[in-house]
Amino acid sequence: MNAEQAREKIWAELRKVGKPDTRFHWDFAEFIADYEGSNQGAEIVREQKAYHQASVVFITPDNNMRKLREYTLKDKKALIMTTYGINRGFQIVRPGDVPEGKEEFASTLDGIELFLTPITLKEIKDEFNHIPLLFTGASAMKPNGLRFGKGHGYFDLEWGMMWEMGIVSTKSIVFGLGHDCQIVDAEIDPEEYDTVVDYIVTPTRLLKTENNHPKPALGIIWDKLEAGMFENIPPLQEVYRLKGKYGRRAL
């Protein structure tokens, strides 16, 4: 089964358990869907030692992360995320920013807008130095931790930007959250920039991935950016300004 066949199979199954998006409805090529049982997946994450130990986490702005964002806010962790398309860069919600009892509302993508504060990559580095734990959704994942599906590569780009600034490292742990129907063993090989996840969390289980592909240490691969990305993504401009086109590889 190739990537396109896997997408068609997954998206057909996802229509049975997935929840439509307010903008993209059932167009799974444009968003990461929420689904029945995502709350149970968040509960599995909340039980993990790595989650308990982390005081700051990065969570992608995906629909299936709502309950996990709620737990993060309730558990008084600093929550770093990006906005849609990374067009407004990185944002943060610090412990105490959300009034007690408002965590559920603040965990929605619309509600969290009221509590976000913009933060640059340099400010993240200065305040936290290192992000130990990252969570991402995915349209599809292989058991070895390779994510595929939408094709825009935003999480890989977020990883690359944070890597350039020394905010993430090979010690950072990456969790991929998805429904059981989104886990398939398709015939797809990882690219050099693919950020393979260490753990897959579904509504029913925690899976330690085979993960025989190292986390990318290339930073930003400038010539692979889609048209318009540099102009529309402020953190890319920040990295270019601070590190130059060749980033940490030139240091």
Rounded to two decimals, the pTM is 0.92
Q: What is the pLDDT of residues 130-182, one digit of tens each?
A: 999 999 999 899 999 999 876 568 999 999 999 999 999 999 999 999 999 99
* Separation between Cα atoms, residue 208 and residue 169, nearest integer Å: 19
Indicate the CATH number of 3-250 among 3.40.50.2300, 3.40.50.10420, 3.30.70.3270, 3.90.1170.30: 3.40.50.10420
Q: What is the pLDDT of residues 200-209, one digit of tens each?
A: 999 999 999 9
Domain ranges (residues) in the chain: 3-250
Beta-carbon contacts of 57 under 8 Å, excluding residues fewer than 6 positions away, are 51, 72, 77, 78, 79, 80, 131, 132, 133, 134, 135
* Separation between Cα atoms, residue 111 and residue 92, nearest integer Å: 14
| Residue labelled with tokens 């068609």 | 8
Q: What is the pLDDT of residues 4-58, one digit of tens each?
A: 788 888 889 999 999 988 888 888 878 899 999 999 999 999 999 999 999 999 9
Contact 90, 81 (CB under 8 A): yes
The two three-digit tokens of residue 251, written as one number: 């240091």
Using DSSP, state whether 106 is helix, strand or coil.
helix
